Amino acid sequence: MLDVRRLRLLRELSHRGTIAAVAEALVLTPSAVSQQLGVLEREAGVPLLQRSGRRLVLTPAARTLVRHTEVVLDRLERAGADLQSARQGLAGQVRLGTFPTAARAIVPAALVALARHHPGLEPMLSEIDPARLPDALRAGELDLALTHDYDVVPTPAEPGVAVEALCVEGVFVAAHRDAAGDRGATGLARWRDEPWITALPGTLCHVMTARVCDRAGFAPRVRHRVDEFATVLALVAAGQGVAVVPQLALVAVPAEVVLEPLDVHRRTGVAHRAGAAGHPAVAAVTAALRSAVPADLAAP
């Protein structure tokens, strides 16, 4: 009989790439992870790992086993949800990951609603890099999380993670009210010669800005790299450049800033482990988050 805990280790290795990364994520020693994977290989009766240079890679049999593991873990999540539903009342901790814009614009009102309807739940909020969310959910560090992508930079589906649509918002170019730009151009191309403020390289927002500028026929001349949108708007107000900003970030916009809508949208969703949608705590937090979304932004 294959051990589910060892199967989970193999699944984590398939996503994280190294035994050291699996050990760090699951608070184990690398030797313990290696030992358990060795036991799993003996249980399976076929080679699961092989050397490729200095790295361990999964064999075809191991990749097949990982696909079965995703199904098994999905069913276990569903079983846990059914058992929780049989209990009376909701209580205990529920861990929610979020990105900064949603932490300010959606989460506070959701936590108020959650406290009113489910006072026994203890939500625990963590800001987290969206790139880390799938691993954090699969490893059990989070129970659910707010995630986002842009229609110009869609995010591929992640094994073992399900996402429910929450809201869709517009995206705007923000410029100083005295910035003329190229009056002979239209749309985003008007700002091709202006200095730009973008998010840090490697982030989804940075890729989105580069993508929309490329569609407009130019590469932005970046002056400042800032992730926090309130700071971005303050820099725009100071005449330091133009930026692309999603609608939920437009809180207390300085008077010096003018906004022009773009044909781009950002989509926010609630992510959780596959099979966990029916868990009462996950369902309760999801409902509270939906109640906090402005009606004009709610996903259909």
103-122 confidence digits (pLDDT tens): 999 999 999 999 999 998 99
Reported as type and span, the H/E element at residue 61 is: helix 60-86
**What are φ and ψ of residue 238, in 5° steps?**
-85, 5
pLDDT > 70? residue 230 = yes
Comparison of pLDDT for 214 and 275, the residue scoring more = 214
The Cα–Cα gap between 280 and 87 comes to: 10
| Cα atoms in the Cβ-side hemisphere of radius 13 Å centred on 281 | 25
Of residues 39 and 272, more confidently modeled: 272
Q: Where are the domains of the chain?
A: 4-84, 93-160+267-297, 169-265
**Residue (of 171, 162, 193) closest to 262 by Cα position:** 171
- Read off the pLDDT of each residue in 71-95 and give the average, rounded to a whole number: 76
Name the nearest CA neighbour of 141 among 189, 92, 84, 93. 93
CA distances 49 to 32, 33, 35, 64, 260, Å, are 16, 13, 13, 12, 53
Question: Quick one: pLDDT at residue 143?
Answer: 94
pLDDT for 74 beyond 90: no
The answer to whether residue 84 scores a pLDDT higher than 80 is no
Looking at residue 106, its pLDDT comes to 95
Q: What is the full DSSP assignment across 99-139?
A: -HHHHHHTHHHHHHHHHHH-TTEEEEEEE--GGGHHHHHHT
SS3 state at 67: helix
Q: What is the share, in percent, of the chain residues with pLDDT greater than 70?
A: 97
Q: How far apart are CA 88 and CA 78, in angstroms?
A: 18
The CATH number of 169-265 is which of 3.40.50.150, 3.40.190.10, 1.10.10.10, 1.10.3720.10?
3.40.190.10
For 19-176, list the strands marked E by DSSP. 49-52, 55-58, 92-98, 121-127, 144-150, 161-176
Domain 93-160+267-297 has CATH 3.40.190.10: yes
Fold of 4-84: Arc Repressor Mutant, subunit A (1.10.10)
Average pLDDT over residues 188-195: 92
Please check the confidence at residue 82 and state whether its pLDDT lies above 70. Answer: no
The answer to whether 93-160+267-297 and 169-265 have equal CATH topology is yes
Taking residues 243-266, report their average pLDDT: 95
- Does the structure show a pLDDT above 60 at 86? no
Buried/exposed 96-108: b ≥16 CB within 10 Å, e otherwise: bbbbebbbebbbe
Integer Cα distance of 135 and 141 in angstroms: 8
Q: What is the pLDDT of residues 26-43, one digit of tens each?
A: 778 888 888 888 888 888
Look at the pTM and tell me if it is higher than 0.85: no
Give the up-direction half-sphere exposure of residue 60: CA atoms within 13 A in the CB hemisphere. 0
Question: Which stretch, 23-27, 172-176, 186-190, has highest mean pLDDT?
Answer: 172-176
pLDDT tens per residue across span 167-185? 999 999 999 999 877 777 7
Tell me the C-alpha distance between 55 and 21, whole Å.
Answer: 12
pLDDT at 3: 83
Rounded CA separation 26/31 (Å): 13
Tell whether the model's pLDDT for residue 154 goes beyond 60.
Answer: yes
- Cβ contacts of 182 within 8 Å, gap of 6 or more: 189, 190, 191, 192, 193
What's the confidence (pLDDT) of residue 79?
A: 77
Place of tokens 């929610």: 96
Among 43-57, 84-98, 260-274, the range of highest mean pLDDT? 260-274
